[in-house]
Homo-oligomer: A and B are copies of this chain.
Amino acid sequence: MDRKKETVTIYDVAREAGVSMATVSRVVNGNPNVKPLTRKKVLETIRRMGYRPNAVARGLASKKTTTVGVVIPDISYAFFAELTRGIEDIANMYHYNIILCNSDLKKNKELQLIEALFEKQVDGLLFLGGEVTEEHREIFSGSDIPVVLAATQDEKVKNRPFVTIDHVQAAKEATGILIREGHQRIGFVGGPLTDPIIGYPRYLGYKEALSESGLPFEEKWIQLGNYRYDTGLKATKELLMMEEGPTAIFAVNDEIAVGAIHAAQDLGKRVPEEISVIGFDNIPLATQVRPLLSTVAVPMYDIGAVAMRLLTKYMNGEPIENNQVVLEYRLELRDSTQLKETPDSV
């Protein structure tokens, strides 16, 4: 076969089948306005010649690439991996492909990535994590490409579409569990507070819960690092070895929380009898630890799926009833806290 050398084009097929390029184009694109017999003939020569439509040429002519850009902090985090799976599944369902980019939450990298994606003429963009700065807004609004935010939102821009959960409220409720258990000294272990997506909102929720219950907020009970297990491990040891240290830990994510559990155990403290720990996200790890981790179940997959679905609506010009969706979370109380009944949600 010679299909390897010469690339066969729509023109070749047309000539060979004795029809026009337009007709070939029609059958390739499933346009119904083709006589069945003609269609059959064309399909046959397509097969015979091993014709493969060139999506780049199609993209140039039609101004649609059926490709969307996805900018994400770091795919190696279970949270984002799961979310990305949701995105890709829906994208696939609607016949889109995704170009995946890791930003490491670095603003300049984000900006440069978005720019590159726009140059590639993606039909839409999903942006996750990272603060939406003025520069982001500028580049977003400088083009007609629809952008939806996932797992975050833009406080400043009223109508920027997004799909997320209420991080503050969830963190507040999670901390509330610890409070209901009777803990008076509750530690906080998290990533950087400068992170407007995870770090800060969850910190806020924690703080609000304390103040609403009249509990003391102690600067020294706040331990910060990154979002990894080791942070949870080290920070919690620190906390537990203090005089008057916390008796319960609110961790901003599950990896940290599991680190916290192990820290307690390493120090000979029993969880949850002596120390309660509550996490956030409900990644698989949460049920792969003993005791099972109590946590805030965040619908990661759904955030991705819903965000992608919303984006398809923009791309296809479908009517959109609600472009800012706040998904439900759920308190998943397992064995790292003593309370087993979810209180009436606020």
Residues of A near any B CB (own CB < 8 A)? 1, 3-4, 50, 52-57, 59-60, 65, 67, 74-78, 81-82, 84-85, 88-89, 92, 97-102, 115-121, 141-144, 228-229, 255, 258-259, 262, 265, 284-285, 287-290
- Interface pair A82/B76, CB less than 8 Å apart: yes
- Interface pair A142/B75, CB less than 8 Å apart: no
Q: Across chains A and B, which 9 residue pairs bring their CB atoms closest together, nearest first?
A: A100-B100, A81-B81, A55-B120, A56-B59, A55-B119, A76-B85, A56-B121, A97-B99, A229-B288
A19, chain B: closest CB distance, angstroms:
21
Closest residue of chain B to A102 (Cβ to Cβ) is B88
A194, chain B: closest CB distance, angstroms:
23
Cα A141 to Cα B85 in complex, Å, equals 30
A99, chain B: closest CB distance, angstroms:
5
Closest residue of chain B to A261 (Cβ to Cβ) is B290
A86, chain B: closest CB distance, angstroms:
9
B residues in contact with A50, CB < 8 Å:
142
A83, chain B: closest CB distance, angstroms:
9
B residues in contact with A101, CB < 8 Å:
88, 92, 97
B residues in contact with A82, CB < 8 Å:
76
A7, chain B: closest CB distance, angstroms:
9
- Interface pair B4/A143, CB less than 8 Å apart: yes
- Interface pair A88/B100, CB less than 8 Å apart: yes
Given A75-B88, A284-B229, A52 contacting B119 (CB threshold 8 A): yes
- Show 12 residue pairs from A and B whose CB-CB distance is below 8 angstroms, ordered by the A residue: A3-B142, A4-B144, A67-B99, A67-B120, A75-B84, A77-B81, A97-B99, A97-B120, A99-B99, A99-B100, A229-B288, A289-B289
B residues in contact with A258, CB < 8 Å:
288
Cα A121 to Cα B60 in complex, Å, equals 13
A195, chain B: closest CB distance, angstroms:
20
Cα A54 to Cα B288 in complex, Å, equals 47
Closest residue of chain B to A57 (Cβ to Cβ) is B60
B residues in contact with A144, CB < 8 Å:
4
Which single member of B74, B142, B288 contacts A285 (CB below 8 Å)? B288
B residues in contact with A117, CB < 8 Å:
97
- Interface pair B142/A116, CB less than 8 Å apart: no
A93, chain B: closest CB distance, angstroms:
12
A183, chain B: closest CB distance, angstroms:
24
Among A59, A65, A74, A229, chain B packs the most CB atoms within 10 A around the CB of A59
Cα A279 to Cα B81 in complex, Å, equals 22
A74, chain B: closest CB distance, angstroms:
7
B residues in contact with A89, CB < 8 Å:
102
Known A76-B78, A78-B81; further 5 A-B contacts with Cβ < 8 A: A56-B56, A67-B120, A97-B117, A285-B285, A290-B290
